[in-house]
Amino acid sequence: MKSNGLIYCLCLCLVFTGSAIAQIAQPDRFELEVDNHAGFVVAPAGESGVFLFREIENTYNTTDNLWEVYLLDTALNIKWRREYFINPNFINISHLFIDGTLHLLFSSKKQGDRSLSLVSFSVTSGEVDNYLIRNFIPFAFYDFKVINNAVLIGGYFNYRPLVVLYNLDEQIPRVLPGFFNERAQLIEMKVNDNSTFDIILSGPDEEKNTTLFINTFDVFGNLLKKISLDSQRSKSLLFGRAETLENQNQLVAGVYGRRRSEYSRGVFVANINPYGEQKIKYYNYAEFENFFNYMKARRERRVMSRIERKKIKNKKIKFNYRLLVHELIRHEDQYILLGEAFYPKYKTITGNGGLFSSGWALNRGLHNSSIVFDGYRYTHAIILGFDKQGNLLWDNSFEINDVVSFELEQFVHVNASGDRVDLLYVFEDAIRSKTIKGNQVLEGKEENKVRLKYDSDKIEEENTKINGLHKWYGDVFLTYGTQTIQNLRTEGVGLNRKVFFVNKVVFE
C-alpha cells in the first residue's frame, strides 16, 4: 500500500508539473486615467521599455497640434514624458521603433502638399529630431522602414507599387527602379542584417500566373538582384514572408492557390541561393496533421475520413481557405510560420418599405432587404515548423473563438522558447493561450482574465476594450486597452475611473 501510495503521489506530481508548464502571469500594470476621447498608440521597445504616444488638447498659446510621448520601463514605471508640437496640417500615418529610436511618420493633409514629416525620439534621453521629407508624387501610403540614415517609404501610384528611398543627410529622394511599371502588390519591405533590403511583390509572371518577386537593394538604392519564384502553371504563389539564412540563401514561405484564385490550397516553402537557383516544396492543407483541429469533433472526423478515402484512391482532396500569413520566425535550427484563417461575414438588413422609403417605391410596399459586410470572422491559426531546406517538421493549430474584425489584422502571437511554443490572443477581457511542442499539445486552451490593479476593482466585460497585444521581449508580451472600473473599498481610489492600461504578460 505504501508503494502504491508513493506511485500515486508521483503521478500527481507529474500531472501538476505538466499543468504548470508555461503558466501566464501578469506581474505589472500601468494605468492612466483618461477621458472618453483619449487613447494611446503603443510601441514596444524591447528591454528598453515601451512607448505610449497620442495627440492631446493644446492648452498653450499656439496653433500647432500637441503630442505627448511616454517611455515606460520594463516594470511599467514612467521613465520620461515629452510634449512635442506638430504642424496642424500633418496627421500621423505610421510609427516604427528600431535601433533605440521611435520614429513617427506624419503626412500633410493640405491640398497640393505631399510632404512627409519624420519625428524621432531617442529611447535613452527623449531627445527629438525632426526631418521634413519633400515629396512630389501623390501616392497612397503602404509602409515605411529605416535603414542606416535613410527612410524607405512604400506605397501605390496609379495602382502601381512605388518605393522611395530618402537620405536624411543629403535630403535627396530616390524612386527605386525595377517595378514602378508593374501591376503588382507590395507584400513586404524587409531590412536585412547586411545593410541591404528586400522589396517583395506579388504579381503576374510572363505566363500571367501569380508569383512572388524579390528585389534586393543596397543602402544607396542600387538594385543588386531580382528573383522571381518559379511557380507551377497550376499553382499561383499568393503571399509570402522571407528570411535570410546564414549562407545568404533565402527561405520564403507563404500560401499558394490554383491559377487566378484568391483562395489558398496550401503552403509553399522555397529555398533560394544567391544566384537565384531555387527549390520549392508544396504542402496541401490535407497533408497537415492538425489543420482541422479547430472544428467540432464530429465534423473533423468527417473531414479526415474524406481525406483517407481519397488517399486510398491515390487522389488528393483540395481545400480552399483565406489565410493571412503574418510571421516567419527564426528559432534555433528551424523556421516557424504563423498564419490565420478567416472568412468575410455578411448580414441581411430588412426594412418594411415605409411610404417615403426607397423600398416602398421599388417594391410597392413589400419588405426590402440588403446584404452588407459584417466583418471578417477568424476560425483558427496554423503554425508550422520547417528546416532550412523547407522540409515540414511539424504542424499545429489554435482555435480562435468569437473574433470578428472589420480590418484584417494579426490576433494570434507566438512565443518560442526551447522546444515549447506558446500561442495567445486577447478577446474582450481575457487572454487565451495554448502551449504546444511540435505536433503535441502540452496545454490545451486556457483563459486568463486581464488582471486589474486592485483586489477590490470590479468590471464588466462590456466596459473593457482591448486595443491590442504585442510581443515585447524574451517570453514577455503586453496587452493594453481601456477599462471603466468600479472600486468601493480601496482607500484613496475613486469609486469609478476610466483608465488606459498596459499589462505585462509573462510565460512562467
| pLDDT tens per residue across span 473-493 | 999 999 999 999 999 989 989
Q: State the Cα–Cα distance between residues 415 and 505, nearest whole angstrom.
A: 12
Q: H or E stretch including 201?
A: strand 196-204
Give per-residue pLDDT as tens, 276-320.
899 999 999 999 999 999 998 899 999 999 988 888 888 888 899
Please give the grid coordinates belonging to residue 499. 483608465
In tens, the pLDDT along 26-74 reads: 999 999 999 876 679 999 999 999 999 999 999 998 899 999 999 999 9
Instruction: Quote the pLDDT of residue 37.
Output: 62
The tens digit of pLDDT for each residue in 133-143 reads 988 888 899 99
**Order of strands, sheet of 210-218, starting from the edge strand that comes earlier in the sequence:** 185-191, 196-204, 210-218, 223-228
Q: So what's the pLDDT on residue 356?
A: 43
Distances (CA, A) of 298 to 287, 290, 301, 304, 378: 19, 15, 5, 10, 20
For the chain, percent of residues with pLDDT exceeding 70: 91
Residue 292's φ and ψ, nearest 5 degrees, are -100, 15
Query: What is the Cα–Cα distance from 145 to 156, expressed in whole angstroms?
Result: 16
> 201 or 13: which carries more pLDDT confidence?
201
All 3 cell numbers of residue 437? 511542442
The Cα–Cα gap between 259 and 236 comes to 5
Any alpha helices (H) in 154-218, and if so which ranges? none
pLDDT confidence of 181, banded at 50, 70, 90? Answer: low
Q: What is the mean pLDDT of the chain?
A: 88
- Residue 158, classed as helix, strand or coil, is coil
Return the pLDDT at 100.
95
DSSP secondary structure, 335-389, as one string: EEEEEEEEEEEEEEEEE---TTSHHHHHHTTS-EEEEEEEEEEEEEEEEEEE-TT
Query: Does residue 21 have a pLDDT over 70?
Result: no
Report the C-alpha gap between 419 and 125 in whole angstroms. 38
Q: Are 24 and 433 in contact (CB under 8 A)?
A: yes
In whole angstroms, what is the distance from residue 423 CA to residue 396 CA? 10
Total-model pTM = 0.88
Q: Kindly indicate the confidence band of residue 350, based on its pLDDT and cuts at 50, 70 and 90.
A: confident
- pLDDT number for residue 358: 41
- pLDDT attached to residue 193: 86
Taking a C-beta distance cutoff of 8 angstroms, is the pair 135, 110 a contact?
no
Average pLDDT (181-206) is 89
Residues 274 and 195: their CA atoms lie apart, in Å, by 16
Residue with the bigger pLDDT between 105 and 459: it is 105
Indicate if the pLDDT at residue 472 is higher than 90. Answer: yes
Tens of pLDDT, residues 262-278 = 899 999 999 999 888 99
| Segment holding 42, helix H or strand E | strand 41-44
Please tell me the predicted confidence (pLDDT) of residue 8.
41
Q: Which residues of 129-138 are buried (b: 16+ CB within 10 A; e: fewer)?
A: eeeebebeee
pLDDT classification of 348: cutoffs 50, 70, 90? confident
Instruction: Give tens-digit pLDDT for 107-155.
Output: 999 888 889 999 999 999 999 999 999 888 888 999 999 999 899 999 9
Dist CA 327 CA 108 (whole Å): 32
Task: In whole angstroms, give the CA distance from residue 350 to residue 335.
Answer: 49
How high is the pLDDT of residue 180? 60
Please answer whether residues 88 and 113 qualify as being in contact, where contact means their C-beta atoms are separated by less than 8 angstroms.
no
CA distance 121 to 45: 12
Greatest Cα pair distance in the chain: 88
How many helices (H) and strands (E) the chain has is answered by 3, 35
Closest CA to 432 of 382, 396, 469, 462: 469
Q: What is the pLDDT of residues 407-419, one digit of tens each?
A: 999 999 999 998 8
User: CA separation (Å) from 50 to 129, 329, 351?
Assistant: 19, 22, 49
29 CB burial (10 A radius; 0-12, 13-18, 19+): middle
Q: How far apart are CA 312 and CA 232, in angstroms?
A: 26
* Cα separations in angstroms, 48 against 68, 98, 99, 447, 481: 19, 11, 11, 29, 21
Nine-digit cell string for 295: 472544428
Classify residue 46 as exposed, middle or buried by CB count within 10 Å of its CB (0-12, 13-18, 19+): middle
- Residue 11 phi, psi dihedral angles, 5° rounding: -65, -40
What is the DSSP code (8-state) at residue 321? B
Rounded to 5 degrees, φ, ψ at 139 are -110, 155
Q: Is 319 helix (H, G, I), strand (E, B) or coil?
A: coil
Strands 278-284 vs 266-272: parallel, antiparallel or unpaired = antiparallel
Indicate whether 16 pLDDT > 50. Answer: no
Given this model, what pLDDT does residue 341 score? Answer: 96
| Opening angle at CA 409, ends 408 and 414, nearest 5 | 140
